[in-house]
Chain A
Amino acid sequence: MLALARKVNESIIINGNVEVTILEIKGDQIKVGVNAPKSVPIYRKELYAQIQKSNEEAVRTAGPEVLSKLLHPSPDAPKPV
């Protein structure tokens, strides 16, 4: 990983069109500003990781047999009373 030391109000430029600025440092929290084209998706890593995990779980999910039973009434299933 590339590590760069930055002070408040200093920035780094990524790929010529993304600017990341250190806005504020307070204790163990750092406020970071990102200036990027709107076409560049920017997410908190926790959220991104959650979605990645969800995608992986969807891939590992049960096959069509199980799912179709879940979503489609089988003709001989007992009717709810």
Chain B
Amino acid sequence: MLVRTKYFGEVDLPEEKILEFERGLIGLGDYKKFTLLHDCEKEETNIQWFQCIEEPSLALPVIRPWLVMDDYNPVVEDELLRGLGELNDDNLVILVTMTVPSDVENMTVNLKAPLVINSDTKKGVQIIAENEEYEVKYRVYDILKQKKED
């Protein structure tokens, strides 16, 4: 299906690339269908775009949390994930949203509210992790800069 996107124009998206977030994203309205896009022109890309299918202007940058925290392990009540179907090491996808203000050194990721996706059932949910130490605004500029230089 043809989907209008915020940054990549109109994209022809196979049905199986559509992710269903029954609860939507926290505080972002009733949108339930999303997909993950990345910039094909970059050979190797760490950032993906969590693009809403129903509202083209709604797209959030997301990264794999292990890029910024080796031992990231969000804890959540099992019942909240039940709707996703059975999760295992192969189908579990965890992403965190990224915020980049005009002063990029203040960029942060939200470790407190990751997106959890079952890549088999294509269902996902944004959870709030019980981990007290996980910050909503976890500063990552220095961490990513360090990785880039390694």
Q: Determine if B27 and A58 form an interchain contact, defined as CB atoms under 8 angstroms apart.
A: no
With both beta carbons as reference points, the residue of chain A lying nearest to B98 in the complex is identified as A58
Task: Report A-chain residues with C-beta under 8 Å of the C-beta of B77.
Answer: 38
Nearest-CB distance from A68 to chain B (Å)? 5
Q: Give Cα A51 to B96, complex, Å.
A: 12
Q: Give Cα A57 to B60, complex, Å.
A: 9
A-B contact count (CB 8 A): 106
Q: Give Cα A70 to B39, complex, Å.
A: 14
Q: Give Cα A24 to B94, complex, Å.
A: 39
Q: Determine if B26 and A61 form an interchain contact, defined as CB atoms under 8 angstroms apart.
A: no
Task: State whether the Cβ of A35 lies closer than 8 Å to any Cβ in chain B.
Answer: no
Task: State whether the Cβ of A14 lies closer than 8 Å to any Cβ in chain B.
Answer: no
Q: Give Cα A66 to B99, complex, Å.
A: 12
Count how many chain B residues have C-beta atoms less than 8 Å from C-beta atoms of the other chain. Answer: 45
Interface residue from A48, A49, A52, A71 paired with B46 (Cβ < 8 Å): A71
Nearest-CB distance from A72 to chain B (Å)? 6
Q: Determine if A64 and B27 form an interchain contact, defined as CB atoms under 8 angstroms apart.
A: no
7 closest residue pairs by CB, A with B:
A52-B27, A38-B79, A58-B60, A58-B97, A57-B99, A39-B79, A61-B100
Cross-chain pairs A/B with CB under 8 angstroms, 25 sampled? A38-B78, A39-B82, A51-B26, A51-B27, A51-B110, A51-B112, A52-B27, A53-B27, A54-B110, A55-B97, A55-B113, A56-B27, A58-B60, A59-B59, A61-B61, A61-B98, A61-B100, A62-B100, A62-B102, A64-B47, A64-B49, A67-B61, A71-B144, A71-B148, A73-B148
Residues on A facing B (Cβ under 8 Å): 37-39, 41, 43, 47-59, 61-64, 66-68, 70-73, 80
